[in-house]
């Protein structure tokens, strides 16, 4: 076993070193052919801004870019109103990424076939695959319908070309001529200072923020996904210099899924506030908080035993609370820190909640029909909680740092950790054994670390050019994720095992 493990580590090390050496060989060549960088094409064509005006590194916003977004994609001048725009201007951007990646998943349970044993058996092994691939296509269009009336529309597809509407909203800006009164209606990203929709990483596990999406194992609450776009209405207010920001959103408890596919009358609120302050040469620092709280259904009316979409009742509560800090250490180095506490009602912890299957993008939905795989339980009248059931809670943290060598080259590093503080299944008196010393040992209680996540992501993006018509980023990334107790059970002892997943990705992220 030691020799096998050493061999695997040696191969992984050699693969990583090959990628690193290739990158180091190509960077000097690319750097010597660099050109001035400009802004994201759609708004660059309108305002003639450079990339560094709005982006720390495309697509991540800097302080000025956040202010431009908060103003409704306006600079508050005569160019804001569409009537003054060049008739040739069309605020559209297409974005897609051809990639090569290698994905390795440890401890996958697979079938084995042995001579003389027609039914075969099962074994656990690592499954790795590599090859060329595509991301989905994003079709961005946004701007102003009239001065102080802005919009955003983002039809987005998966790699197969199946489209859904990722973002759609209209926003009324500067009502009563005040930056403190802005409202939007539609499907939009929650007001996260660390934006997942402008994330710089692309791997399967590194391309999202685990802190925003963590769900305890067996939990049925999909509705508190802070990183997902939600359907609702949002109020945003900010000072003229954008140093002080507050927002409040009322959203359907549907995780952004359309057609009233979940609860009949369930809503959630998202609240955020932040304050920025200037530390001179260090830069503009910002600290803030956010909270998401609401209710969602655990019981769905059925027809022929199949839950009916939109019929969800028996609402139960949940909450997420977090703090955010964005710290700059001069023009090149910054660190964003997010800490979050989450808790779900005891019914969610037992698997009640979502009765809708989705494509994961807020697209096509279908109702579950028990015992269909992946369908959670339905809290029908008379259902009783098992002994030892309790409300799950957890704590998470994300640390993301950037070294901006120039507006064209950025290095990225991220560490995330999600830890359970209370599992959904505790020890009940009838599920305990008494030792000779009189103490009790839990039997059947969930291990305290079950489902905990640790994740590391490193990478860099280089933009050889970005004109007012097109942009290109050479993207390189590595992600490693570890989760406790979620691997296949040990075939000898029956004990749960940990699972590790890794991915190396290289691609050309371009827009035009």
Give the pLDDT confidence of 452-492 residue by residue, as tens digits: 999 999 999 998 977 666 778 999 999 999 999 998 877 66
Residue 81, pLDDT above cutoff 90: no
Q: Residue range 73-81: average pLDDT?
A: 65
pLDDT at 308: 79
**What is the predicted pLDDT for the residue at 36?**
32
Comparing 52-66, 104-118, 322-336, 400-414, the range with the smallest average pLDDT is 52-66
Could you tell me the pLDDT band of residue 360, with boundaries at 50, 70 and 90?
very low
**pLDDT for the residue numbered 248:** 98
User: What confidence score (pLDDT) does residue 421 get?
Assistant: 96
The answer, yes or no, to whether residue 62 has pLDDT greater than 80, is no
Nearest to 504, CA basis, from 9, 30, 129, 96: 129
Higher pLDDT among residues 391 and 85, named by residue: 391
Residue 500 in domain: no
* Higher per-residue confidence, 301 vs 397: 397
Alpha helices by DSSP H, listed for 214-345, are none
pLDDT at residue 21 greater than cutoff 50: no
Mean pLDDT calculated for residue range 408-424 = 96
| Domain that residue 145 falls in | 55-95+135-401+420-449
Lowest mean pLDDT, pick from 47-51, 194-198, 335-339: 47-51
pLDDT score, position 13: 43
Q: Is residue 512 part of a domain?
A: no
Give the pLDDT band of residue 336 (cuts 50, 70, 90): very high
What pLDDT score was predicted for residue 88?
57
pLDDT tens for 272-295 read 999 999 999 898 999 999 999 999
The verdict on residue 162 lying in a domain is: yes
- pLDDT-derived band of residue 78, with 50, 70 and 90 as boundaries? low
Higher pLDDT, 432 or 380: 380
| CA-angle at 388, arms to 386 and 393, nearest 5° | 110
Number of domains in the chain: 1
CA angle 325, 328, 330 (to 5 degrees): 170
Residue 167 clears pLDDT 90, i.e. is over it? yes
- Report helix, strand or coil for 37: strand
Q: How far apart are CA 434 and CA 429, in angstroms?
A: 10
Can you tell me the distance from the alpha carbon of 344 to that of 207, in angstroms, rounded to the nearest whole number?
A: 25
| pLDDT tier at 332, thresholds 50, 70, 90 | very high
pLDDT at site 416: 98
For residue 175, give Cα distances in angstroms to 20, 167, 238, 241, 455: 52, 23, 12, 17, 43
Q: State what percent of residues in the chain have pLDDT above 70.
A: 72
DSSP 332: S
In 3D, which of 71, 68, 78 has the Cα closest to residue 43? 68
- pLDDT one-digit tens code per residue, 292-305: 999 999 998 887 77
Q: What is the pLDDT of residues 340-358, one digit of tens each?
A: 999 999 999 998 988 765 4
Could you give the CA distance from residue 403 to residue 334 in angstroms, rounded to a whole number?
Answer: 7
CA distance 32 to 333: 23
CA quadruple 395, 401, 407, 410: dihedral sign: negative
Could you give the percent of the chain with pLDDT greater than 90? Answer: 50
CA distance 132 to 98: 8
Q: From the CA atom positions of the chain, what is the Rg in Å?
A: 25
Residue keyed to tokens 């004990």: 495
Cα–Cα distance for residue pair 35/464, rounded to 1 Å: 6
Check: CB of residue 356 under 8 Å from CB of residue 372. no
DSSP 3-state of 148: coil
DSSP state of 36: -
**Lowest-confidence segment of 37-41, 218-222, 410-414 by average pLDDT:** 37-41
Residue 181 counted as domain residue: yes
Q: What pLDDT is stored for residue 495 in this prediction? A: 75
Weakest-pLDDT range from 260-264, 286-290, 389-393: 260-264
**Mean pLDDT (the chain, rounded):** 81
């Amino acid at each position: 076993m030691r020799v096998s493990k050493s061999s695997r580590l040696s191969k992984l090390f050699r693969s990583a070193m090959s990628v690193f050496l290739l990158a180091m060989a190509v960077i000097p060549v690319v750097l010597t052919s660099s050109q001035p960088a400009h802004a994201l094409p759609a708004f660059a064509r309108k305002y003639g801004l450079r990339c560094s005006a709005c982006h720390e590194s495309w697509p991540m916003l800097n302080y000025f870019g956040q202010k431009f977004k908060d103003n409704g994609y306006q600079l508050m001048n005569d160019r804001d109103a569409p009537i003054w725009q060049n008739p040739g201007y069309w605020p559209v951007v297409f974005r897609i990424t051809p990639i090569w990646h290698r994905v390795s998943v440890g401890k996958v349970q697979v079938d084995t076939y042995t001579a003389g044993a027609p039914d075969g058996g099962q074994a656990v092994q690592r499954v790795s695959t590599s090859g060329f691939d595509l991301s989905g296509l994003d079709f961005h269009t946004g701007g102003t319908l009239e001065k102080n009336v802005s919009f955003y529309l983002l039809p987005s597809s998966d790699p197969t070309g199946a489209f859904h509407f990722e973002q759609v909203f209209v926003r009324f800006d500067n009502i009563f001529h005040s930056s403190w009164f802005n409202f939007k209606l539609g499907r939009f990203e929650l007001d996260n200072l660390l934006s997942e929709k402008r994330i710089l990483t692309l791997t399967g596990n590194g391309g999202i923020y685990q802190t925003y999406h963590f769900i305890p194992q067996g939990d049925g609450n999909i509705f508190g996904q802070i990183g997902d776009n939600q359907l609702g209405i949002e109020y945003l207010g900010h000072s003229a210099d954008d140093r002080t920001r507050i927002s409040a959103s009322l959203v359907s408890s549907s995780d952004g899924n359309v057609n009233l596919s979940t609860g009949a009358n369930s809503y959630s609120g998202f609240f955020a506030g932040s304050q920025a302050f200037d530390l001179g040469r260090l830069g503009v620092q910002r600290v803030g908080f956010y909270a998401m709280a609401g209710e969602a259904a655990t019981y769905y009316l059925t027809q022929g035993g199949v839950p009916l979409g939109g019929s969800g009742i028996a609402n139960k509560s949940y909450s997420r609370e977090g703090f955010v800090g964005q710290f700059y250490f001069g023009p090149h180095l910054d660190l964003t820190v997010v800490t979050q506490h989450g808790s779900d009602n005891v019914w969610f912890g037992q698997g009640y909640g979502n009765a809708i299957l989705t494509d994961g993008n807020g697209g096509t939905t279908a109702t579950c029909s028990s015992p269909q795989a992946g369908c959670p339980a339905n809290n029908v009248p008379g259902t009783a909680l098992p002994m030892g059931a309790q409300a799950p809670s957890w704590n998470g943290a994300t640390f993301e740092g950037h070294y901006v060598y120039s507006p064209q080259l950025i290095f990225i590093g991220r560490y995330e950790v999600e830890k359970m503080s209370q599992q959904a299944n505790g020890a009940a008196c009838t599920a305990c054994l008494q030792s000779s010393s009189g103490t009790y040992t839990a039997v059947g209680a969930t291990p305290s670390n079950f489902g905990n996540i640790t994740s590391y992501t490193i990478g860099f993006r280089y933009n050889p050019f970005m004109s007012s018509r097109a942009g290109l980023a050479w993207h390189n990334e590595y992600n490693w994720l570890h989760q406790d107790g979620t691997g296949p059970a040990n075939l000898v002892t029956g004990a749960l095992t940990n699972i590790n997943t890794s991915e190396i990705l290289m691609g050309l992220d371009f827009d035009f």
